[in-house]
Amino acid sequence: MTHSTLPSNELPHWFTQKAEAHLQFLYGESRTPALMERLIDRLQSGISAAKSEQLALWSEQDIILITYGDSVQQPHERPLQTLHEFLTLHLQDSINSVHVLPYFPYSSDDGFAVIDYKTVNPQLGDWADIERLGKQFHLMTDLVINHVSRENLWFIDFLSRQQPGCDYFIEMPPETDVSQVVRPRSTPVLVPAHSHDGIRHVWATFGEDQIDVNFANPDVLFEYIDILLLYIAKGSRFIRLDAIAFLWKKAATRCINLRETHEVVKLLRDIVDVVAPGTVLITETNVPNGENLSYFGNSDEAHMVYQFTLPPLLLHALHHGISTYLTQWAMDTPRPQKHCTYLNFIASHDGIGLRPAEGILPEQEVLSLVDAMHQYGGYVSMRTDAYGKESPYEINIALFDALKGTHRGIDDYQIQRFICAHTIMLALQGIPAFYIHSLIATTNDYQGVEQSGRTRSINRRKWRYDELLERLNNPSSEQASVFHELKRLLKIRRKQAAFHPEARQETIPLGNDLFAFWRINAERQQRILAISNISAEAQTVHLPEHPLTEGSGFWRDLIERTAIAKGTRKLKLYPYQSAWLEALD
C-alpha cells in the first residue's frame, strides 16, 4: 500500500511560494529565508526516499479499523504480529485500513505521552511489524504533535538546560494568569517540573505527564517535519494530527484554534501533498462543530476531519428515540470541499466527547444523557471553563453498554440498537471508522479501570486471542452476533458507488422516529435512500417519490436483499431496523 511522489527531487513553484508565506506568518520575514533553506533541504531528501505508485485519495472501499497495537494478545508473540494475524484471517475482506494507536514507547495515557517518536514500543513489536501491516492495509499513524512525555529526551534536555530541547517547552511563572485558556481537563495549565536549579513551571494542556512543546520555536516545527517524513517512509498513508487545536500558545488568548495553528496545518498539508501525494492528513479536534469544520480551511488544511458531533447526537437520538437534533445537524452539515471528506465514527479509544454537541443539544439534554450513561455503568470526565465552572467533557463507556437501553431503561433491543447505530454511520458521507471494541461488542472493562485508575480504560480492554476467537465462533454469543452482522454490512457497503466519500448527501425529514438521507453518485448512476428506525416501536415509512421517472420504479433493499414493487409507497421497519434502498432504473 505505497504512494506516489515527484519524479525528481525538485520542489514545484507552488509549494515554495506557499511554504514561504506560511513560515513568514509564523516566524517573521527576517527568519524566513534561512527556514526555507532548511525546509527545502529536508524535503528534497524526503522526496528521493519516498515510494511510488499513485493512489486516489479514497473510495467507497475505504473502511478504517481503530485499534491499539495490543488490543488482541496471545502469549509468547508480539502483539503487532497477533494483530496482523487477526486482521488477515478475520477482517481482510471487510476493511482495508487500520489505525494503530500510538505504537511508540510511552509513559502514560496508553501511548499519547510519547517518549520516543522514532522507535516502536518493543512490547508491541518493531518497525518491521509496522511496515508489514502497511503493506497489507492502509496504515494510519498518530503524529502526537502537541505534547511529549516527561521522559522524552527533549524534556530531559530542557530540565538540564541542554541542547536541543532546552528551548522546546513553555516555561512561565506559576502566578501567570492563564484563566482565558480553554481546557479539556480540570488539571492546572502550568505544572511543576523539578530540575537541578529548582522547580520550573511548564505548560501542560492535558496533564502533568504530557508537556506541551513550543511551536513558536521553529526548531520544534522541523523536529515534527522529520517525524512526519519518517512515518510516511515507513508506510503510513493516513497521518492523524492529535490534539492539534491546542498547538500554538499566545498570551491573552484562549490558546485554541489560533491562526498560527491553522498555518502549521496548512504547511503540513502542503508537505504531504508534494512529498507523497495520496497521503491523507487528518485533524483530531474534539471541539464544537463549527470550530472542528474550520480545519478544512479553504480545502488547504486537513483532507479529513473527525465527525466529533456524530457520536453524542446519535447516542442521544437512539437513547430518546427522537431524531430531531440529529436530522437538523445532518441538514446543516456542509458538503466537504474538493479533496476533503469526513471521518465518521461513533466510538473510539477516547470517550464520547460532549463539547462537539454544544449549541446543538440543549444543556438539559446533555445532562440527562450523562445521568443515563451513569446508570448504564459509565463515567463522565469534567472540564473547567474560564470562570471556574465545571461541565461534562466526555462520557467514558463502552458503546455496546451505552446502547443497552433507552431513557425508559434496559430492554431487549441492545444488539439491534447497536447495529442500527453502525448502519447509520456506514451510510453517511465520508469514510467510516470502526473501533475494534465496537466491532466485537466489548462491554465495560471495570478491571481495566481499577488497574489503571483512569476512567477511559473502561473502553480499552485487551482481549486474549483464544478467548476472543472462542466468542466469535460461538453463534449464541453477543460478540459473534455483532461481529458477523457488521462484517456483512461492511461487505455490502464497499460495493456501492453511492457510498463513495464524495457522493452527495441530502438529508430528508421523515418524522421524529426516523433518520433518513439520500446518497447520490450521479457520475456512476447510483442513488441510495438510507432510512433507519431509531425507536423501539415498529414504524411505517412513507417513501418519497421514486427519483428515476424514466426507470422501473422498483427499489432494492441492499441490506435485506429484497425488491420493493413499483408503486409501493409504504415500508414497515421493525424497531431499530435500517434499509438501504437502491433506486433501480
Q: Which residues are catalytic?
A: 242
Task: Kindly report the pTM of this predicted structure.
Answer: 0.95
Q: Write out the residue limits of the CATH 2.60.40.1180 domain(s) in the chain.
A: 504-583
Residues 78-134: tens digit of each pLDDT: 999 999 999 999 999 999 999 999 999 999 999 999 999 999 999 999 999 999 999
Known binding-site residues equal: 109, 147, 240-242, 349-350, 456
CATH architecture of structural domain 64-145+218-486: Alpha-Beta Barrel (3.20)
Give, for 388, the enclosing helix (H) or strand (E): none
Q: Which fold has domain 147-212?
A: Oligo-1,6-glucosidase; domain 2 (3.90.400)
Structure confidence at residue 104 (pLDDT)? 98
Helix, strand, coil % over all residues of the chain, rounded to 5 = 35, 20, 45
Count of Cβ atoms closer than 10 Å to residue 66 Cβ: 24
What would be the CATH architecture of the domain defined by 504-583?
Sandwich (2.60)
Confidence of residue 3 (pLDDT cuts 50, 70, 90): very low
Tens of pLDDT, residues 352-371: 999 999 999 999 999 999 99
**Per-residue model confidence (pLDDT) at position 1:** 52
Q: What pLDDT shows up at residue 387? A: 67
For 365, other C-beta atoms within 10 Å of its C-beta total 17
Which residues are part of a known binding site for substrate? 109, 147, 240-242, 349-350, 456
Within the chain, all domains assigned CATH 3.90.400.10 are found at: 147-212
Q: Compute the distance between CA of residue 543 and CA of residue 120 in angstroms, rounded to an integer.
A: 53
pLDDT digits (tens, 9 = 90+) for 170-202: 999 999 999 899 888 878 999 999 998 899 999
Instruction: Scan for cell 485533524, then name that residue.
Output: 283
pLDDT above 60: residue 50: no
Long-range contacts of 510-515 (CB under 8 A, 24+ apart): 510/541, 510/542, 511/323, 511/539, 512/321, 512/322, 512/323, 512/324, 513/321, 513/322, 513/323, 513/537, 513/539, 514/323, 514/539, 514/541, 514/573, 515/317, 515/323, 515/326, 515/327, 515/330, 515/424
In the chain, CATH 3.20.20.80 covers 64-145+218-486
Mean pLDDT of 431-441: 98
